[in-house]
Chain A
Amino acid sequence: MSRIPFVEERNGESIVRVPLTRGLGLTPVQAVLVLVGIVLLFGLPFFSGLVGLSWERLFRGILFGIAAVGLNLLLRHTELVSFGHAAFFGSGAYGVAVLAAHYDVSEGLLLLLGAVLIGTLVAIIIGYFVAGYVDIYFALLTLAFNQVMFATVFRSGFFNYNDGLQVRIGGDRPSLFGLEWTTLGYNLVLYYTTIVLLLVMLLGMWKLINSPFGRALDAIGQDRTRARFIGIPVERYVWISFTISGLYGAFAGGVYALLRLHVQPEPTLYVFVSGEILFMAILGGFTTLVGPLIGGIVLVYLLEAARFWVTYYHALTGLVLLAIVFFMPKGIVGSLPSIGAALAHRRHDPGLVREDIRGIAAAMRRAVDRAITTVRIIVFGVN
């Protein structure tokens, strides 16, 4: 086929693609971005201090981002809005905590494995019930399951009520790879294990959404009836994707518990955590694979750290989300290509900037006009 490495012939054009796995490749720009991303992820514990960011907080953001990547499988492909993904994040976290606190499992990786199994089991059970529902009913059903779990944990002595469980066995943190670590060493080993697994999971998700199964999910998202006509077992496929999506959430929750060493119901299981996971996916860009990850980092940072910068940190986060809704509906990562193209145009032709300013002024004038009309309609009943 192609003689020069990395060059493919498609529709008479030669496209440079970096093959990653069979049949899948990246454009050179994407390949460079992926490399930069991987370097950033691996260097994060060392870089973050230099620019004044807290590495542990970024780590937590990455974890919620992983859950959002899982949720995005449902949101992007089957077009189902899950409002209950904290159920899996929480079962992962509580899986670790219960195994450590009640069964004295002291190996971190074993705890993580148990957490993923428990969370996946929960996803299988919930998915069985919700797979046949769409739209608002799907969202509300997942929300209800999530809240039942939250309320049960919150009021049950086995999970130690509101105070939550410690992930410590006789006062010690779990071992990783069979070894005891210092605080910093433990966090670093946990971080790098997570990053390696994260890369594997992202690759797996990428393979999955480009496989025939992923295409079938797209078909289900676009029109369930037609998907059924062409022989796709809709409910079963939704159930499977729901389970996979729950697996990502459970993994993230398990690592979260290992990092925090203390699991409480409100930061892991509450319904607003579900909402946050959903909004991370949109904030980062739910039309992309890595967008939810970026969204997770940004939103967790905003929600946790903004309180140290401004008094009204809720409003700051709210304004960022408003900006996303009105100006960047594709999210941060999803908007990058169009922003890049627009900037390139401007550099090419500086006269466009003046037109932009004129456009903004016109838009503001229109908004004021509309507001005046609205007020007139409300006050006088006629325009």
Chain B
Amino acid sequence: MIESFVTHTLNGLYYGFILFMIAAGLTIIFGVLGILNLAHGELYALGAFLVFSVVGFATGLVASPTGTVSAIVFGIVVLAASLAAAAILLPVGAVVESVFVRPIYERDEVYQLLLTYALLLIFIDVMKFGWGQTPVDPGVYGTLNRIPTTELVGFGYPSYNVIVMLVGLAVFGWLVWFFDRSKTGRIVRATAINRDMATAIGVSTDRTFTLVFAMGAFFAGFGGAMVSIGPGTAFLEMGLDPLVLSFVIIVIGGLGSLKGAFVGALIVGVISRWAIWLYPPVELAAPFAVMLIILLFKPEGLYGTWGEIE
């Protein structure tokens, strides 16, 4: 009982960290640009596909691991390859923002939804063109699990999940540092709070928005990469469900709030894994039920927002 409680909670946290990486991008894009990006799930899927190609290339460069040390080297190579794959999404996000999204900031939100939906459809076919209809799998999951982690404290749990949790924590830490401490991050926050004032003191809002969208794309892609190097595969429709769950997360946490996205993602992840364990029929409905309760009783979410949204 205790054992399975711990396992399912850990699974939930793992799932939550994946969701956080997707929702973080969605929430900063919404918080700063004021756009609900329906194509965000496809950026995640694109990351999952890209990592298949990049990791396949990178692991070809190193020998298959034989011992603990070489397994760790292998893990570092895979992580570096995931970062490289997600980095490809930086220019993708920048181009999408400056070409398609920029002309419609002033338009009705229905057009923003329609535009990002159109991008979603186009992205699906870009991936179909690049990788075909069949799911792809980099096949490094088994090897990653040969890195010893939980065995050190006398508890069996896949090392891959532990790695993803650590990576997710690092992403959260970096984002908090970026927005609270770094100069660029503070400029982004200033732009989110007051666009006109930011322009008046010499900030290029165009550049800030491009940066934010590219960052959002990067973290979505990185989340996709983390899923793809695990037991799951990369397939064309994989972006839809995480996108909808990301809505749930950013609503629970508060639209535009980074901490909210973090807490919301962990709540959603843990609740859905507990539901699978205790009462499977409610697994799909549980996150949305939480979202409903939050929206009806505390519509601003757990943490509110750090930027005023126009």
Contact = CB atoms under 8 A, between A and B. Distances in A.
B274 to A, nearest CB: 15
A154 to B, nearest CB: 6
Interface of B: 36, 38, 94, 98-100, 103-104, 107, 109-111, 113-115, 117-122, 124-126, 128-129, 204, 206-207, 210, 240, 244, 247-248, 251, 255, 280-285, 288-289, 291-292, 295-296, 299
Nearest to B251: A140
Given A135-B109, A282-B111, A329-B107, A315 B281 contact: no
A81 B121 contact: no
Contact of B109 (A81, A145, A315, A326): A81
A373 B118 CA distance: 26
Given A147-B244, A156-B281, A322 B292 contact: no
**A contact residues, range:** 35 or more
A282 B110 contact: yes
A143 B251 CA distance: 11
Contact of B110 (A75, A272, A315): A75
Interface string A261-290: 000000000011001001100110010000
A101 B300 CA distance: 42
A343 interface: no
Contacts of A211: none
A83 B98 CA distance: 27
B129 A140 contact: no
A35 interface: no
A148 B289 contact: yes
B111 A325 contact: yes
A144 B117 contact: no
A312 interface: yes
A163 to B, nearest CB: 15
A271 B244 contact: yes
B125 A374 contact: no
Most buried by A among B110, B240, B289: B110
A314 B121 CA distance: 5
A321 B288 contact: no
Contact of B121 (A140, A147, A321, A381): A321
B111 A137 contact: no
Nearest to B300: A137
A146 to B, nearest CB: 9
A352 interface: no
Would you call the interface of chain A mostly helix, strand, loop, or mixed?
A: helix
B111 A279 contact: no
Interface in A138-156: 139-141, 143-145, 147-148, 150-152, 154-156
Given A136-B255, A140-B295, A155-B281, A319 B248 contact: no
A129 interface: yes
Contacts of A378: 94, 207, 210
Contacts of A329: 107, 111
Contacts of A275: 38, 113, 117
Nearest to A276: B117
A371 interface: yes
A261 to B, nearest CB: 26
A150 B241 CA distance: 13
B204 A377 contact: yes
Contacts of B207: 377-378, 381
A319 B247 contact: no
A374 B285 CA distance: 44
